[in-house]
Amino acid sequence: MQAPDTVQGFEKHLDGWLDGLSSPAKQGLAKWPTKQRILLACLLASLITALVFLPNRFFDPDLLHVSLVLGVLGLWRFGWWFTHSIRAAIYGRLIWPGMRRRADRVWQSGWRPRRLHIQMTTYYEDPAITRRVIGSIIGQIRREGIPTTLWIGTGSSYDETIITEFARTHGADVDAQLVFLRQNQPGKRMAIGMVLRAMNRAGIQPDDLVIFMDGDAVYGSDVLEKTCSMFGADPNLQALTTNEEVLCYGPDWIQSWLSMRFAQRRLAMQSHALSKRVLTLTGRMSVFRAKHMIDERFIRTIEADHLDHWLWGRFRFLSGDDKSTWYHLLSRRSKMTYVPDACVYTIEQIEGSGTGRMVQNFRRWSGNMLRNGARAIALGPGVCRPFIWWCVVDQRIAMWTMLVSPIMALLSLFIEPAYILNCLIWIVASRTLLCLFLFRYAREPDMSWPFILYFNQIINAGVKVFMVFHLSKQKWSNRGNQSAGDGTSLVDRLQNACAKFQLVTTVTAFVTGLAIYIGLLDASIIWN
């Protein structure tokens, strides 16, 4: 969906979209539009027709061993998916309702945090988006009556002027302070560190609450009540993150892709929360006990988090501040949770085809995951909790297993070209089944998801394989086109050449091993 050309048109459309998303989501068959029902029926009919009339080559003697590997990997991956689904259902239906009731009782009894601190960074955001973000914050502060300080890290007077004018007009009656901190060093991490140090100078108290949020995240209804009350009800809770929804102005398929990813996130977050941990404290919206903000190690982790690598040496992280805060709390065995009924709305504006932005996002997300995953694994299951620890391990295994099926299917073309048709049927049927589970966590089903899901998995796995050998390479266009790992010195060129050699030889060995297994290559010829 393309954004309207005029400012007034854009604001009107954005308001309408936000209002529509804020309404209660339909449940069951009621949320299936007629078009999507027809598409599902057509897809199922096509699959059944293909299964009935196309020869079943999965049991071809020359390819049975290929089918065996595809089947075992499929059962493993789908079993892992269904495990998450079961855990998510347990959390959503059995654990979460009690947590919400206890939090509501505490809130209704009059409990409020002594003070709320909202830490937000913004960087040349669209004025219409900024006004809606600040408006959503002001409205909820007014409603809940929580003394609040809004700390905003900026890069110029551009965002400061927009926020100041809006706050003076619409927030004069609100018990809140507005503090700007203009960063003198580049990067979001330095902006957050500057804000946290200012909080400490102002005398933040350990039991205050601190919200970390981005400048394009609009609060849904009752977000402050639904999140802050969790800390009043559970003294051991140290941090939480919320549900998210996305509004994307750009190619329609990017909106579908992002909506699918957020549905995956809802399922996974509820599964993780059953272990009283999560896999990330999302930068869009997370809430912390302020005692962590007082810890100099916490601040330095955000400002100067780094990795010591045998090839790349010591390099600092550009993005991934949410992973750094998560790792800090994880290493201290802190209790974390997910609040499914508190939603923030992320507003994305994407120009062009969107493919470049998709790959760039994967590079950033995958790089952040890989850079933090190794040290999280090193903490061990005793610190991370066994299920969460295995989730981190599985992220590193899955990037390779996900590539086995498509590579073996392509290699089988040299043995039996028609086998690829059976593989395509398996891909579409399996992803359709997975999406039927995923649709439970979507506002509205979208029958493009089975195809987008597979495309998402393949691209993501490929990017992860590339990034595991290029951990220092970072690029973040949202914060002034920051980049790292692209030096041109002799040492940089040697490091890049070494990384490329590792990548090529590893991928070659991976493909060669699969070719040997399916009988396309003779191992004795290679060794001799």
- Nearest CA among 297, 292, 301, 331 for reference residue 210: 292
The tokens for 282 are 């999302």
Q: Kindly report, residue by residue over 117-149, the tens digit of the pLDDT.
A: 999 999 889 999 999 999 999 999 999 999 999
Closest CA to 284 of 324, 229, 235, 246: 246
The confidence score (pLDDT) of residue 370 equals 85
Residues 465-478: b if buried by 16+ CB within 10 A, e if exposed: bbbbbbbbbbbbeb
- CA angle centred on 236, ends 262 and 321, rounded to 5°: 45
Residues 413, 237: Cα–Cα separation, whole Å: 54
Tokens of 486: 């692209």
Q: Which residue blocks in 145-251 are alpha helix, DSSP H?
A: 157-170, 188-201, 223-233
Identify the band that residue 193 occupies on the pLDDT scale cut at 50, 70 and 90: very high
Please, what sign has the CA dihedral across residues 148, 214, 329, 383? Answer: positive
In this predicted structure, what is the pLDDT of residue 500? Answer: 94
Alpha-carbon gap, residue 503 to 447, rounded angstroms? 36
**Residue-level pLDDT at 367:** 80
Which range among 230-234, 319-323, 358-362, 482-486 has the greatest average pLDDT? 230-234
The total of other beta-carbon atoms located within 10 Å of residue 219's CB is 24
Bridge-based pairing state of the strands 285-289 and 148-154: unpaired
CA distances from 225 to 21, 153, 311, 392, 404 (A): 19, 24, 48, 32, 47
For residues 214-223, give the mean pLDDT.
93
The answer to whether the beta carbons of residues 215 and 159 sit under 8 Å apart is yes
Least confident of 9-18, 125-134, 216-225: 9-18
**pLDDT computed for residue 40 by the predictor:** 95
- CA–CA distance from 180 to each of 130, 159, 163, 342 (Å)? 14, 10, 10, 27
Chain centre distance of CA 105 = 31
HSE-CB for 303 with a 13 A CA cutoff? 16
Using CA atoms, how far apart are residues 311 and 316, in angstroms rounded to an integer?
14
Q: How many CA atoms lie within 13 A of 197 on its CB side?
A: 16
Token digits of residue 253 = 């398929």
* CA–CA dist 228, 104 (Å, integer): 10
So what's the pLDDT on residue 235?
96
Q: Residue 38 class from Cβ within 10 Å (0-12 exposed, 13-18 middle, 19+ buried)?
A: exposed
Report how far residue 446's alpha carbon sits from residue 435's, in angstroms, rounded to the nearest whole number. 9
User: Alpha-carbon distance 52 to 68, whole Å?
Assistant: 21
How much is the pLDDT for 350? 86
Looking at the predicted structure, is the pLDDT value of residue 51 above 70?
yes
Q: How sure is the predictor about 44, in pLDDT bands with cuts at 50, 70 and 90?
A: very high
pLDDT of res. 481: 56
Question: Which three-class secondary structure state does DSSP give residue 246?
Answer: strand
Q: Is residue 519 over pLDDT 90?
A: no
CA atoms within 13 A on the CB side of 54: 18
**Using one digit for the tens of pLDDT, what is the confidence trace for 82-91?**
999 999 999 9
Q: Looking at the domain that runs over 112-353, which CATH code has it been given? A: 3.90.550.10
Q: What 3-state class would DSSP assign to 221?
A: coil
Write out the two tokens for 121. Answer: 């960074």
- Mean pLDDT within 43-61: 91
Q: Would you state the structure tokens that stand for residue 76, as one six-digit string?
A: 């493993």
Across the range 216-225, mean pLDDT stands at: 94
Cβ atoms within 10 A of the Cβ of 168, count?
Answer: 10
pTM, rounded to two decimals: 0.93
Q: What is the DSSP letter of 144?
A: H
pLDDT at 24: 84
Q: Helix axis angle, 386-411 relative to 355-379, nearest 10°?
A: 130
Whether residue 482 is predicted with pLDDT greater than 60 in this model: the reply is no
Written in H, E and C, the secondary structure of 456-484 is HHHHHHHHHHHHHCCCCCEEEHHHCCEEE
pLDDT confidence tier of residue 483, bands split at 50, 70 and 90? low
First CA to last CA distance, the chain = 58
Predicted confidence (pLDDT) per residue in 410-419, tens digit: 999 998 899 9
Give me the torsion for CA of 395, 227, 361, 81, rounded to 10°: 30
Q: Does pLDDT of 330 surpass 60?
A: yes
Average pLDDT for the chain:
90
What are the E-state strand segments in 311-382?
313-316, 335-349
Token couple for 138: 């002001």
Both structure tokens of 413: 């073309």
- Look at residue 293 in the predicted model and tell me its pLDDT: 93
Which strands make up the sheet holding 217-219, listed edge to edge? 176-182, 148-154, 116-121, 209-214, 285-289, 237-249, 335-349, 217-219
> In this model, does residue 244 exceed pLDDT 80?
yes
Phi, psi torsion values for 2, nearest 5 degrees: -85, 145
